[in-house]
Amino acid sequence: MTTPTQGLRPDLAEIASWIAPGSRVLDLGCGDGALLDHLQQAKGCSGYGVEIDDTQVLACARRGVDVIQQNIEAGLDMFAGNRFDVVVLSMAIQATQHTERVLSEMSQIGTEGIVSFPNFGHWSHAWSILRGRMPMSREMPYKWYDTPNLHLSTPQDFDDLLNKLGLSVTRRAFMANSRPVGFLPALRSTQAIYRFKVRAA
């Protein structure tokens, strides 16, 4: 039996389940547009993707996803006059240079933000370091000398950053091997997914 999210990456399927039908969505670092394509087809959502890679932009266009070729590090000023229900950044925040600014801008143009990232606190990473090796995993499949990842994080670190920026967590999910993790997620999950909004005054 075909599921509505078949073909989506597991973290994207979880994110899609959090987004209400008819929402206006901005997907930063949208890749091939799979999430937006699903949201448009299954939930009647609208919005834009932002992607810098030429090949991925072409893939978005082939799917019929409205995409803007832009480096999110250059800022999101072009969306200043727009208001989105949800701004998504999936498995890319660890590669941002100005992480605080990206999160702040997401909260300025969106009612809610959703971010997924690899959990650097997974027990296997600590074990790799104890053995004298930099960690590698399915979520971080790079050698230390060619990784695009700049700012790796644990869930606690991410909680602290959101709190510093005046953002409140409204939902969390943790995954490992494409499955939910409930017990000891900070140690056992390889991915964390957060939904947040500006803290009420």
Strand partners, 168: 197
Q: Tens place of pLDDT for every residue, the chain, 201 residues?
A: 234 566 798 999 999 999 999 999 999 999 999 999 999 999 999 999 999 999 999 999 999 999 999 999 888 888 887 789 999 999 988 878 889 999 999 999 999 999 999 887 766 666 566 677 666 666 666 565 665 555 678 999 999 999 999 999 999 999 998 899 999 898 889 899 999 999 876
For residue 73, what are the CA distances in angstroms to 47, 51, 95, 99, 100?
20, 11, 10, 9, 11
- And the tokens for 140? 């971080």
Q: What is the 3-state secondary structure of 128-188? A: HHHCCCCCCCCCCCCCCCCCCCCCCECHHHHHHHHHHCCEEEEEEEEEECCEECCCCHHHH
